[in-house]
Structure 1
């Protein structure tokens, strides 16, 4: 089903409600999700954090792995998160920030109207009876703004690592149902290159507050095996 997205308008969406009973069902087939540096420590305690490269733009993005193959999400079941910390990118759906077609470079709040969470019967109202924004909507808008700003910081982090040539392609091998499987197309920070940086370069990374995120990323790679265990359990349950 194609997404139907429209700018949020108090006249059009005066009676609209958001039912959050199965808030994460929309992402049940997403095997990777973008994350921001501010949540690396919490995400990395459960999931691998890796980098991917856009072949067209050559830009690096950083994501958390939720599955070991396309379409496999081992962290969402029946619309609910199976871990402790829910990545920020999942918090606000079906509300999103979208490009404003009338103002270049500007963003506006939009609604994924095709989402089954959107209705007029039950859930959290977006607007009060007097047309003002509900507390629910205000909190979601604040959350989206914060995530956008943190995404900008994260892009700068990715760019800094790329410019210092610290990101290298990596193939991860994991055993699934007793057989090895290779995971390709990802990049990680090269620890040898990191350790060979000059004192000046390391000091610069420290001053910019990037080192904690780098170490959180490297530590998170240990969680690949945990994903493998989840995959094996899922395969056993389906058998």
Structure 2
């Protein structure tokens, strides 16, 4: 089913409610998700964080791996998250920020109208009876605004790593059902090159507060095997 996204309008969506039961079900088939540097430490303690490259723009994006192949999310079981920390990008669905077609460079709050969470019967209302924004909507808007700002700083972080030529392609090998499987198409920080940076370059990264995120990313790579263990358990359970 294709997504139907529309700008949030008080008149049009006055009666809309958001049912947050099974709020994460929409991500059931997402094997990677974008993450922001502010959550690297928490996510990296459970899941691997890697970088992917857009071949069209040459831009790098930081993502968390939730599965080992397209369409596989090992962190969701019947809509329930199997870890301790839920990535921020999942928090606000079916609300999102979208480009305002009438104002270049501006964003507006939009609603994924096709989401099964959207209804008029049960859940959190988006607007009060007097037409004002509900506390639920205000909270979600604040959360989306914060995530957008953190996404901008993450883009700057990714660009810094790329400009310093610290990102290198990497193939990860794990064992699934006793057989090795290679995962390619990802990039990681070249730890050897990181350690060979000049004192001036390292000091710049430290002053800009980027080193904790870099180390969190490197440490998170140890979690790839944990994903493999989840995959093996999923196969065994289905057998």
Report TM bin, short chain.
Answer: over 0.9
Segments of 5+ residues of structure 2 without an aligned counterpart are none
SS of 1:170's partner is strand
Partner of residue 4, structure 1: 4
Partners of 1:54 and 1:86 lie apart in 2 by 25
Query: Within 5 A, what are the aligned runs for 1:155-234?
Result: 155-234=155-234
1:59 aligns with 2:59: yes
Partner of residue 74, structure 2: 74
Aligned residues: 239
Deviation, structure 1 residue 202 = 0.1
Partner of residue 18, structure 1: 18
1:152 aligns with 2:152: yes
TM-score normalized by the length of structure 2: 1.00
SS of 2:61's partner is strand
Deviation, structure 1 residue 185 = 0.2
SS of 2:86's partner is coil
TM-score normalized by the length of structure 1: 1.00
Partner of residue 106, structure 2: 106
SS of 1:155's partner is helix
Deviation, structure 1 residue 62 = 0.3
SS of 1:68's partner is coil
Segments of 5+ residues of structure 1 without an aligned counterpart are none
SS of 2:110's partner is strand
1:127 aligns with 2:114: no
* TM-superposition CA deviations, 1:21-77 (whole Å, max 9, x none): 010000000000000000000000100000000000000000000000000000011
Partners of 2:55 and 2:176 lie apart in 1 by 29
SS of 1:108's partner is strand
Deviation, structure 1 residue 88 = 0.1
Partners of 2:152 and 2:80 lie apart in 1 by 28
Partners of 2:215 and 2:59 lie apart in 1 by 21
Partners of 2:232 and 2:136 lie apart in 1 by 39
Partners of 2:69 and 2:78 lie apart in 1 by 19
Partners of 1:219 and 1:192 lie apart in 2 by 14
* TM-superposition CA deviations, 1:150-172 (whole Å, max 9, x none): 00000000000000000000000
Partners of 1:116 and 1:77 lie apart in 2 by 18
RMSD of the TM alignment (CA)?
0.3
